[in-house]
Amino acid sequence: MEPLNNKLTNKQRAAERYTQEQMRLLLSLRDMVKNEVRKEVARQMEMYNK
């Protein structure tokens, strides 16, 4: 029998999956925001340079 501290309960596993999914969503959201900011900065620079 494996030691208890090596066993994750189903709830712990679910919480871990949830946390990983949240992190993945946050990172993709961050990338989307970065891209939008880059586009907006480029647009503003073009307007400024006209």
Tell me how far apart the alpha carbons of residues 48 and 33 are, in angstroms, rounded to a whole number.
22
Q: Where are the domains of the chain?
A: 1-49
| 8: Cβ contacts below 8 Å, ≥ 6 apart | 16
Query: 16 near 8, Cβ under 8 Å?
Result: yes
Query: 5 near 12, Cβ under 8 Å?
Result: no
pLDDT at residue number 3? 59
Write the DSSP assignment of 1-50 as a string of letters: ---GGGPPPHHHHHHHHHHHHHHHHHHHHHHHHHHHHHHHHHHHHHHHH-
pLDDT digits (tens, 9 = 90+) for 2-32: 556 667 788 898 899 999 999 999 999 999 9
pLDDT at residue number 39? 97
